[in-house]
A = this chain, B = another copy of it.
Amino acid sequence: MAENKDPFLKADAEAITLAKTLLRDASYAAIAVNEPETGFPLASRVLLATDSDGTPIILVSALASHTRAIERDQRVSLLTGEPGKGDPLAHARMTTRCIAGRVPRDSAAHQALRATFLARHPKARLYIDFPDFSLFRLTPVSADLNGGFGRAYRIDGQSLVDQA
């Protein structure tokens, strides 16, 4: 056991580049949310796009368990970095802690994010305007990047998005 040992390497430029790529290149992700009724953490799948600064965007239905959870607790995380062939743990992946914020449908931001989301996911045009669907921006707080066995990095949220 090594409970008090810091298992993270210092995040260098290469690690931050990999982290930004893992967030920007993902077209879907596992999202973890706190389920209010049970206290269980729920992992489910969401489609992902990114705002121009790299902030993740999701489109979710009010009928989905994750959406009802997010409405009550804005703390979520995303797992990105899909395994290819071979050992799934040999592929880089990242857990990004985020604070979720709904994008109001009547806001100027919504128009732009709607277009961004549809550019990545054209089929979402079939349901993006349904009244029970909402876009959420997920502002990164911090991320745990796993670049493979023994290569773990903690990265702050500001390093994951492009500064204005």
A63: CB under 8 A from chain B?
yes
CA distance A1 to B132 in the complex (A): 6
What 0/1 pattern do residues 82 to 97 of A give for CB contact below 8 A with B? 0100011100010101
Q: A41 is contacted by which of B32, B68, B83 (Cβ under 8 Å)?
A: B32
Per DSSP, are chain A's interface residues mostly helix, strand or loop, or mixed? Answer: strand
User: Do residues A40 and B77 form an inter-chain contact, with CB atoms below 8 A?
Assistant: yes
What 0/1 pattern do residues 43 to 86 of A give for CB contact below 8 A with B? 11101000000000000001111001000000111110001000
User: Do residues A79 and B44 form an inter-chain contact, with CB atoms below 8 A?
Assistant: yes
User: Do residues B45 and A88 form an inter-chain contact, with CB atoms below 8 A?
Assistant: yes
Q: Chain B residues near A65: list those with CB within 8 A.
A: 95, 144
* Shortest CB distance A25–B (Å): 14
* Shortest CB distance A22–B (Å): 12
